[in-house]
Amino acid sequence: MKTIFLFLPLVFLLSCRSSSPFQASKSDIRFLHTLKEYEWPKAYREQDTLLLDRILGEDFQLVDANGLWTTKQDEISWIKSHAITPDSFYYEIKRLDFLENGTVILAGTGHSFQDSVETVYQSSNVLIKRDGVWKAVLSHVSGVTDQE
């Protein structure tokens, strides 16, 4: 009986603890859409290393379609010497999940058009909000196909 009386206050205290799951604001959602659909592609298209530096966290890693791992510095170096100039590009977000710890899973399909060829790829991204700023920490690209 004594155990029950000691246990009940503990249950009450635990049930009263305020859990504070991350609440995505409309501005977070808008920002992430803009980031993935416009800013990130713009950094590659315009070889804008400063913009890419702002998007990627210092601990960023990419797993590319060939299974190779690169870092933030690798990506910044790569865009300096590789111009990507599609006729048009769009990214469709298929998943945008906010996790309780301020982490986002953002995934979807990229469509790049050059002449009469459409290149399609799948990508998954993990972003973390640190000190009020969203930073990409992991990306994975797969399923790259060309369609005429």
Pick the closest to residue 51 from 81, 83, 75 (CA basis): 75
Q: How far is CA 139 from the centre of its chain?
A: 7
Q: Are 98 and 24 spatial neighbours (Cβ–Cβ below 8 Å)?
A: yes
Q: What would the pLDDT profile of 66-103 be if each residue is shown by its tens digit?
A: 999 999 999 999 999 998 889 999 999 999 999 988 89
Residue for token pair 């998943």:
95
Within 10 angstroms of residue 95's Cβ, the number of other Cβ atoms is: 11
- Over residues 116-131, the pLDDT tens digits come to 999 999 999 999 999 9
Q: Identify the band that residue 21 occupies on the pLDDT scale cut at 50, 70 and 90.
A: low
What is the rounded distance in angstroms from the CA atom of residue 102 to the CA atom of residue 104?
A: 7
Mean pLDDT of the chain: 87
Residue 4 pLDDT more than 80? no
